[in-house]
Structure 1
Amino acid sequence: MNKPIRVLVTALVILTGASLILVGCGADEVSLDPADISGTITFGGWPAGDDAVAAIIEGFNEQYPNVTVELEMTATGDHHDRLLASLAARAGAPDVVMIEAEYIGSFRDRPGFVNLLDEPYNAGRFADDFVDFKWEHGLSIDGTQMVGLSWDIGPLTMFYNRRMFEAAGLPSDPDSVFELMNTPDGFLEVARAMHVPDERWLMGNAVDLISARWSNRDFYNEDLSLRIDEADSIELIDLAGQIRSQGLDANVEMWGGEWTSLLGDNRIAVVSAGSWFGGFLKSWIAPDSAGDWGVARQPLFDSVNWGGSFLAIPSMSNNPAAAWAFIEYMLTTVEAQNAMFAAVDYFPSLVPAWDASFYDEPDPYFGGQQTRRLWADIATRIEPSLVTPMDIETQGIFMSGVDVGIDAGESAESILASVVDEILRATAPERDALRTVLGLD
């Protein structure tokens, strides 16, 4: 596999002229002899990370019987806020921490983490086994430091409620659903057919269409110019505007309580999300709806990644040997990666895991579909992407601008122009600093 050009990310960097100084922490004398590894480590993250750990802890303890793993699970945003506070205070972080893909650009050049490329960890020996772009995202801007090893990716698909499609007189097999919705006109016609005023909608929010298209947060080209003014953005914003103006979306916020309730009550028909959303449906959104949901290729924009996570060791850990032993077992063994995938639908970043016959098995929750093989096929076609420190701000301005614009009935061209202007203005200081560091001026 060919590695893409080094990803551009830095959140806390020290800029001196045109140079970039990375502040990291190397490993002290750490023994990775299994006979020497013991004690208790804490694992910090968010649900369903706890269910994933539960699926592999027995296998880990067969190899490391003297290590106890304790979980500290909070909401995703709270977890990252606490991690930032711990790094600032240089105390209080768990021994192993999850870092969500949205946040990796804010952590990968920060001080306070063990460099997993250093002795005795030598994570670089696993480089060829991981999805290229996710491996790159865990590295510092100059490639000398690895803050996080990639756990999973999120091949984007459209989860759809078969029963709602059938009730609307629409086909419900995944291939037909994709073909029916794979043009803007077809997508709009399905939204109209699905709609029952104040009762049933195709989607929770029209803006979710734009959010899903750009869910990999690949907003920038290698020269730090914006990519969001590509032709498909105009097309999708126009479609979102029509859906909103015709009242065809529920106009509720994704992940909010009302959105979750509508999904569980069979009143929202589709959700575009990474493979991990399958685990959400099974565990807490619609656990009693086995067979009611299907998974189709994403209409209008296929081969997109949404999300994924990384595991890192804060340098303040008192037991980095046990922390690394746990990460190495979790993320670099086919056995553990596929056990977690089976438990929570976290699609492995570890490419050799995809060869298991398990990927061809039917998934009863999704009506016997071979969903894992579908996601593996999509994963092979996901393009490399840049990660920058501007991504979270860029995403916020983009989605908010589209939401406000379609509510006001503005044209797609006007909405996008306003969004691009605002992003360029708001991110100018960070872009200028990075351009200087990278010699792009």
Structure 2
Amino acid sequence: MSRTDRSNAASMPRRLVLARLPLLGLMSLLATGAMPALAQTQTLTVAAFPALDEIVKAAIPVWKQKHPNVEIKVVSRQFSDHHTAMTTALSTSSNLPDVMALEFGFVGRFAEGGGLEDLSRAPYNIGASKGRFVSYAYQQATADNGAVVAAPADLGPGTLLYRSDLLQKAGLTEADLTRSWDSYIASGVKLKAATGAYLLAHARDIKDIAIRANVKAGEGLYFDDKGNILVESPRFVRAFELAKSVRDQKLDGKIGAWSNEWSEGFKRGTIGTQMMGAWLAGHLSNWLAPNTKGQWRAAQLPEGAWASYGGSFYALPKGASAANKALAWEFVQMMTLNPAIQQAAFKSQDAFPALVETHKDAFFDQPIEFLGGQKARVIWREATTRINALDVNKFDPIAEEIVNTEMDKVLDQGKDIKAALADARKLLERRARR
């Protein structure tokens, strides 16, 4: 064979290579076991949601450097569809991916279901890397029985984003917004009078942050570590009172998050502030309201509150292919423990890294043009050191639904707050006993 012939043969299917070989040469190769080596391809399936799917795709070239014959198949669905599909897959043990992305709100439900690998056990031993993760993120993936069901990928430190141009028109300062919750609401009155802008898109937003703020160690949002329901605690009473005060003073636009009205409110300057995870600044810049560049600023939450708002994780379903388990775990480690990949995700998708060692990167000190040159990442980094871990519970999504329903009854129908929270507890007790 010429060099060209050998090159062409190497790229052909196996049966064609055999057909081109002289008979005697073929018999010799068979006898010696020196047949041409053909790469065996393997495929890992990763199920994810936006923008985690883009982060995974961007990391594939790094993976291929070490595993050129292992393909990564990304199955992407919208946020709700993804978690519904994963719930079905785990309950039926069918169509399971090798790696499953999860948002924090679903970790508890999936953890208690027993369908995820315990990463604290051999051969995974994630505990050896515990100190490399932001502490509260690691704890969020830890079930009541001590099992670690997922590896943290990114965080959502709570922040207050506000329109500095609107504050200036109203004669307000950042300190007016952050001094206390009462001062924040009082600023909303002045803001609306001077500019016509609402303080908040929806009164429920202040409740969402307030119930997450300064949660005691060993507690979750809705349950303590013994499973006791917390929705009648002072934390919830105060959160409901704040939301009602916002609504009573007509300081919210009654606009739901992620709606067209929501994005239009940001674009037109009719919403003055928004409390959410720090990742929202990236969404505002990239697609929600890019025309407002330079007009937003970030601050810590009012009244010295420290709150976690979401976060993403990678988990390994127990029922997935055993042949792929080792590679799947290696892939999860690459996505969560590789500083370069964590930093790339932060820079491209504003996915605040859960890997502590990345927090020393100079990128944190760079000004954010969309936020008027503010070094906001330093603010968010501080928040990650002050947030207490939230314990997860499998009934958290149900509790959220019930509490939001009762919140709406208070806001829209004038229901008494204590009666609403008492009804929420009763309904949650019934649902939890099913």
TM-score by length of 2: 0.81
Q: Which has the higher helix share?
A: 2
How far residue 150 of structure 1 moved from its aligned partner, in angstroms, is: 1.4
How far residue 283 of structure 1 moved from its aligned partner, in angstroms, is: 2.3
Separation of aligned partners in 1, 2:414 and 2:179: 24
Query: Is contact 1:282-1:365 (8 Å) kept?
Result: yes
Separation of aligned partners in 2, 1:198 and 1:356: 39
Q: For residues 117 and 235 of structure 1, do their structure 2 counterparts lie closer, same or farther at Cα, with a shift above 3 Å needed? A: closer
Within 5 Å, which residues of 2 pair with 1:274-353? 274-314=277-317, 315-317=319-321, 319-353=324-358
Match of 1:42 in 2: 45
Q: For residues 397 and 266 of structure 1, do their structure 2 counterparts lie closer, same or farther at Cα, with a shift above 3 Å needed? A: same
Query: Is contact 1:290-1:367 (8 Å) kept?
Result: yes
> Deviation string for 1:69-121 (max 9, x for gaps)?
23222221111111111223322122211111111111113243333334433
Match of 1:208 in 2: 205
How far residue 181 of structure 1 moved from its aligned partner, in angstroms, is: 4.0
Identity of counterpart residues, as a percentage? 27
Match of 1:240 in 2: 243
1:187 to 184, 188, 202: 184
Q: For residues 138 and 246 of structure 1, do their structure 2 counterparts lie closer, same or farther at Cα, with a shift above 3 Å needed? A: closer
Match of 2:33 in 1: none
AA of the residue aligned to 2:261: E
Q: For residues 57 and 281 of structure 1, do their structure 2 counterparts lie closer, same or farther at Cα, with a shift above 3 Å needed? A: farther
Cα RMSD after superposing both structures: 2.7
How far residue 306 of structure 1 moved from its aligned partner, in angstroms, is: 0.8
- Alignment of 1:399 onto 2:404: yes
Within 5 Å, which residues of 2 pair with 1:67-82? 67-82=70-85
How far residue 221 of structure 1 moved from its aligned partner, in angstroms, is: 2.6
Query: Is contact 1:180-1:186 (8 Å) kept?
Result: yes
How far residue 353 of structure 1 moved from its aligned partner, in angstroms, is: 1.9
Within 5 Å, which residues of 2 pair with 1:116-195? 116-143=119-146, 145-171=147-173, 177-195=174-192
Match of 1:104 in 2: 107
Separation of aligned partners in 2, 1:50 and 1:275: 19
Task: Select between 159-168 and 188-197 the one with higher mean Cα deviation.
Answer: 188-197
- Highest CA radius of gyration, 1 or 2? 2
Separation of aligned partners in 1, 2:349 and 2:203: 27
Query: Is contact 1:181-1:190 (8 Å) kept?
Result: no
- Alignment of 1:425 onto 2:426: yes
2:118 to 109, 115, 118: 115
> Deviation string for 1:313-354 (max 9, x for gaps)?
223236223322221111012221121112222222222221
Separation of aligned partners in 2, 1:87 and 1:197: 53
AA of the residue aligned to 1:390: F
SS where residue 292 of structure 2 aligns?
A: coil
Query: Is contact 1:219-1:227 (8 Å) kept?
Result: yes
Q: For residues 89 and 388 of structure 1, do their structure 2 counterparts lie closer, same or farther at Cα, with a shift above 3 Å needed? A: closer
How far residue 265 of structure 1 moved from its aligned partner, in angstroms, is: 2.4
Separation of aligned partners in 2, 1:301 and 1:393: 29
AA of the residue aligned to 1:405: V
Q: For residues 37 and 289 of structure 1, do their structure 2 counterparts lie closer, same or farther at Cα, with a shift above 3 Å needed? A: farther
Task: Select between 213-222 and 274-283 the one with higher mean Cα deviation.
Answer: 213-222
SS where residue 41 of structure 1 aligns?
A: strand
SS where residue 114 of structure 1 aligns?
A: coil
Match of 2:9 in 1: none
Query: Is contact 1:112-1:316 (8 Å) kept?
Result: no
Separation of aligned partners in 1, 2:193 and 2:76: 39
Separation of aligned partners in 2, 1:198 and 1:407: 25
AA of the residue aligned to 1:427: L
Match of 1:86 in 2: 89
TM-score by length of 1: 0.80
